[in-house]
Amino acid sequence: MGAAMSRHPLRNTGAAISPAWLVALFSVAALALLGALLLRHNGGTTGKPEGELVVFCAAGVKPPVEAAAKDYAREYGIPVQLQYGGSGTLLNNLRISQVGDIYIAADESYVRLAREQNLIAETMPLALQHPVIAVRKGNPKTVRSLDDLTRDGLLVALANPEAASIGKLTKAAMEKAGRWKPLEARVKVFKPTVNDVANDVKLGSVDAGIVWDATVKQYPELEAIASPELTPLVETVTVAVLQSSRRSPAALRFARFLAARDRGLTHFASMGYTPADGDAWAEAPEIVLYSGAMLRPGIEKTLKEFEQREGCRITTVYNGCGVLVAQMRAGERPDAYFSCDTTFMDSVADLYLSPETVVDNNLMILVQKGNPKGIRTTADLAKPGVRLGLPHHEKSAMGNIAWKMLREMGLYDALQPNLKVESPTGDFLVNQLRTGSLDAIIACRSNHTPMRDHLDAIPIDSPLASMAQPYAVGKGTRHRQMMGRLLESLTTSRARDRFTEVGFGWRYQPAPKP
């Protein structure tokens, strides 16, 4: 009877163990383990090797993660301590204990929960997997579909929906199809991890179970039965750097190693997973960002912080976007481009992935403090004796927009006698205005904001006076994931404040994260 009860943890008849009791028992044990790790993590008497990383990993991806961790320790001399469990169990315990450096979840729902609870920072995809029915080699019970799992006499194991990704996904899919109750009634045992389900099938304790397709490939004694209801349910294994990490740059470097297509992902591929589109590995990556010159005041501090955390070096090329586009058309290929306006991004759209608008800006008339020339409108720029500076209409985004706007207003030709300077950057025009070489310029709101104690600004009443600044990742970059993380860094609340402090408007609308 004891053996029978141990195989029926969800039954509540007689002295059977209830599922709530099992979950509580498992959580207490896991918390005890994490408590011991916390002591070590904080320099307790058990000690911990200097630089050791603590990784909490979904049990189903143990083989490739373990292999990659050994590679990393061998290559860089940094030990990686791996702790395994169901994704849900690990997340619950991490939320309570607030320890560790890395969390690896078997599906995106737990990553979303971790993000909502502010437990994680950077994330990177590792591999794709989908659920299948696992049976012993040769399929002795002739299981062909989900319907067969409810057959009389068939013994089934599933992963606990409260503890493991595969269990949670299975329950959600079956509930949606109205088939969970019949399946639950036939389950002999609920297990804490996907590996436990696979082992029960392997040992013959049960006839079938639902596991990940990659899990079956790691067991020569098993074979997979595809199901139309399960195959479309593709999930992404994800590695995340924990906010609790006290050595975030080191944790992030190991995460990059694990997610690199020529390092950690080779183990995922060799062990039957579908690897994600990872970056090429570099211990200290060197990346190139092309940026419109107007954006420099808003992004410099964020770029420096990104370099320090990622352990990379960013070569940032600032210039008028007309100049930058010409360089790209001549063959230059930066890893990412932050454009002064969508028109210039559109002109090189074939070189980039989908751009995302981050901020906006407006053209304004800037004059010396006190406005000694009495300029009130764009028409006043044509007054005799007004020395005018304009952004270059071919070499800069604001020049291109200013040219179109002035043409629309019928003023472009009238202003030519007063035009003294054209420049691809607003900073140069501002300097000329401050030194008294010019009486008025057309530049951006972001050019005026840092100079508002020295220069006056006159708004321009035209819908053409506005522009938007998009960011895009280069299609040919070897560091696509890193460039995506750079966008995340450029769109944090801290980055937003830096943009708005120097005169930009905020436009970023993030796509929903998994």
DSSP helix/strand/coil, 224? strand
H helical segments located in 206-313? 213-217, 248-258, 264-270, 296-310
Q: Contact, 50 vs 76, CB < 8 A?
A: no
Q: Contact, 388 vs 367, CB < 8 A?
A: no
As a whole number of angstroms, the distance between CA 119 and CA 114 comes to 5
Q: Contact, 427 vs 486, CB < 8 A?
A: no
Q: How confident is the model at residue 21 (pLDDT cuts 50, 70, 90)?
A: very low
The residue among 298, 290, 426 whose CA lies nearest residue 355 is 290
Dihedral in degrees, nearest 10, Cα atoms 417, 421, 425, 431: -120
**pLDDT score at 395:** 86
Looking at residue 223, its amino acid is E
Q: What is the largest CA-CA distance in the chain?
A: 104
Of 41-50, 262-271, 373-382, the range with the lowest mean pLDDT is 41-50
User: What does the radius of gyration of the chain's CA atoms come to, in whole angstroms?
Assistant: 30
As a whole number of angstroms, the distance between CA 392 and CA 182 comes to 71
Per 3-state DSSP, the chain is made up of helix, strand and coil in percentages (nearest 5) of 45, 25, 35
Residue that is written with structure tokens 């300077």 in the block: 421
Other CB atoms within 10 Å distance of the CB of residue 321: 31
Q: Which CATH architecture has domain 284-514?
A: 3-Layer(aba) Sandwich (3.40)
Task: Write out pLDDT tens, residues 380-419.
Answer: 999 999 999 999 988 888 888 999 999 999 999 999 999 9
Task: Write out pLDDT tens, residues 179-203.
Answer: 899 999 989 999 999 999 999 999 9
As a whole number of angstroms, the distance between CA 444 and CA 391 comes to 10
Which helix (H) or strand (E) is 223 found in, with range? Answer: strand 222-225
DSSP annotation of 352: B
As a whole number of angstroms, the distance between CA 422 and CA 440 comes to 12
For the chain, the structural domain boundaries read: 19-128+235-275, 131-225, 284-514
Q: How confident is the model at residue 35 (pLDDT cuts 50, 70, 90)?
A: very low
As a whole number of angstroms, the distance between CA 145 and CA 291 comes to 55
Task: Write out pLDDT tens, residues 40-68.
Answer: 444 433 344 457 999 999 999 999 999 99
The CATH classification number of 19-128+235-275 equals 3.40.190.10
As a whole number of angstroms, the distance between CA 389 and CA 136 comes to 79
pLDDT at 12 over 70: no
Task: Write out pLDDT tens, residues 331-363.
Answer: 999 999 999 999 999 999 999 999 999 999 999
**pLDDT score at 50:** 54
120-155 burial code (b ≥16 CB/10 A, e <16): bbbbbbbbbbbbbbbbbeeeeeebeebebbbeeebb
The CATH classification number of 131-225 equals 3.40.190.10
Task: Give this prediction's pTM.
Answer: 0.82
Looking at residue 454, its amino acid is H
Other CB atoms within 10 Å distance of the CB of residue 370: 8
Question: What is the percentage of the chain residues whose pLDDT exceeds 90?
Answer: 81
284-514 matches 19-128+235-275 in CATH topology = yes
As a whole number of angstroms, the distance between CA 172 and CA 235 comes to 13
Helices (H) and strands (E) in the chain, counts: 20, 21
